[in-house]
Amino acid sequence: MEASVRIDLSWGPDRARTPQPAARIAEILLGEHVSARSFGPALNWLDVLFVPLKGRNKPLKGTWRWRGTQAEHLIMEAAAPALEHMTLEQGVRALIEAVPDALARAGSCLDLQLGFDLEGAQAAVLSCLSGQIDSSAIRRISVNLEVAGANRMAATRVGHDALRREWRRPLTRSLRWVRVHAVGKAISRSRPLADACRMVGGLIGSALAQQVETPGYDEIYVNLGTDDTTVRYERTALEDWCENAWAVVGEPQLAERDPARLRRTVFDAAREALLVLAEVDHLDGVKIARLLGEIDVDGLANVFVHRRMEHASVTAQITYSLGERNDHGCILRPIFHLEAMDLETGSRMRWPLGPIDLMEAGRALTRLQISSREIRLHLHGKPLRFPLGHVMDSGPRTGPVARR
C-alpha cells in the first residue's frame, strides 16, 4: 500500500527541544525518500526525538501525541549522537542511521489491525543512506531551507492522499459545510478574490450540507492557490473534524476584476478539487457532481432549504437565496423566509424573516414547530408565531406575530 509517512527528527528533551541544523537537513533529505510514500495506515507521522543520555537514568520510550486525530504521531526517543565532534555531513548521516531502529521499536506501539510495512519503511531509509550525503547535497538544501521544507510537507500531503485512496474508511458523518480560502502571500490579500471565495463557499456549502457522507469530518476546506506546493504546505487539516481539498488556478485568472467571471473561476476550481477529494476518500462523487451542477453560479438564483418539517398535511421550511442578501461587511447575510404548504390543496404561505448571518443561522433559527393553527419559531431567541388560518392561498403574508 503506497501512501504517506512523515518522519520528523527533533533534538533535546521533549519539554525543551532546541533547533538542530543537522536534524532539519536530515529530515528533509529523508523526506525525499519517504514523504510521498507510506507503509500502511498504522503510522503516518513518526517523530524521532534525539535525547542526550548524559546524566539520564530513564530508558528510551515511545509516546503517542494527539491520538485520535489526523495530527496523531508517535514520538520515539533515540540516543543523541555526539554531533559536536562531527562534520555537518557526518551528523546528518548519524541522525538518519538511527531511524531504522526507531521504526523497529515503534512497531510494538502500533495497531496491528491497520497494518504497517516495517521492512518497506526501513528499506526507504536505507535508500536515503545509500544516496549522496555530502557537502553538495547539504548545500542544495541549505540554500533555501524554507522552500525545501515546504516541498517536503507538500509531498507528505500527496502521500497521505494516496493512502486514503487505498484505505477505504466507512462513511460515518454528514458533511456540515464547505469553506473556500485563497492561499498564498500575494493572492490572499486580494479583496475581490476573498469575496469570490466567500460567495462560492456559501453556494457549495449550502448545496452539499447534510447531503454528503464523509469518513468522519464535518467540514471541507478548499484551499485555492497558484501552485500545488503552496496550497498543500500553508493549509493542512490537523484535526479530524475537517479535511482539505486542493485547487490550483493560474495567477492571471485569479486577478480577474469582474466579480461574476472571478466567481465562476473559483467555483470551477473548487468543484474539481471536491471531485478529487471524493475519489480520494471514496465519497459519493456522482452525487456531489450532480448537486454542484445544479448551482446557478452566475445568477445566484438557487433557493436553499435551511430546515424542513412536516406535520399532518402542512410542510414548513426555512429557505434563503444568496441572490437576495443584505451583507454586513464580509459577512454573508441572505434574506431568510419561512414557507408553508398545504400538501392536500397545494396552497402556500410565505413570510420574510430578514437578513441572517449565514454561518450563524443554525443558532439564530431554532425551535421550529407546527400545529394545526400556526407555526412557531424562535429567531435570535425571540419566540414568534405564524398563523396558518383555515384557508391558505399562494400570496405572501405579513410578518409574524410575536409570542407574549
What tens digit of pLDDT does each residue of 12-33 get? 877 778 888 899 999 999 988 8
The three-state secondary structure class of 26 is: helix
90-142 pLDDT, tens per residue?
999 999 999 999 999 998 888 877 888 889 889 989 988 888 888 888 888 88
Instruction: Please tell me the predicted confidence (pLDDT) of residue 395.
Output: 44
Map grid coordinates 397545494 to a residue. 346
Give the pLDDT confidence score for residue 193 in this predicted structure. 94
Q: What are phi and psi of 369, to 5 degrees?
A: -135, 150
Q: Which pLDDT score, from 0 to 100, does residue 236 have?
A: 57
In this predicted structure, the answer to whether residue 281 has a pLDDT above a threshold of 90 is yes
Question: Is residue 50 classed as helix, strand or coil in its secondary structure?
Answer: strand
Q: Which residues contact 164 (CB under 8 A, 6 or more apart)?
A: 3, 280, 281
Mean pLDDT of 197-222: 96
Helix and strand element counts for the chain (H, E)? 12, 17
- DSSP for 292-354 reads HHT--TTT----EEEEEEEETTEEEEEEE-TTSB--BTTB--BEEEEEEEETTT--EEEEEEE
The CA distances from residue 345 to 340, 349, 392, 395, in Å, are: 12, 12, 9, 14
Q: Provide DSSP, 69-103.
A: STT-EEEEEEEPP-GGGS-HHHHHHHHHHTHHHHH
| 93-96-97-100 Cα dihedral, nearest 10 degrees | -170
Are 338 and 351 contacting, i.e. CB atoms less than 8 angstroms apart?
A: yes
> How far apart are alpha carbons 11 and 322 in whole angstroms?
52
**Assessment of whether the complete model's pTM goes beyond 0.85:** no
State whether the Cα torsion 164-165-169-173 is positive or negative.
positive
Position 212, amino acid: V
Q: How far is CA 54 from CA 102, 144, 313, 389, in A?
A: 20, 34, 79, 85
H or E element at residue 100: helix 99-106
Q: What is the pLDDT of residue 3?
A: 41
Identify the pLDDT of residue 235: 63
Residue 396, pLDDT above cutoff 60: no
Measured CA to CA in angstroms, residue 208 lies from 174, 291, 374 at distances of: 9, 7, 30
What's the residue count for the chain?
404
User: pLDDT grade, residue 209 (50/70/90)?
Assistant: very high
Domain range annotation of the chain: 6-166, 173-293, 304-402
Q: Is 35 left (phi over 0), alpha (psi -120 to 50) or beta?
A: alpha
Label residue 238 by pLDDT band (50, 70, 90): low
Closest alpha carbon to 295 in 224, 199, 387: 199
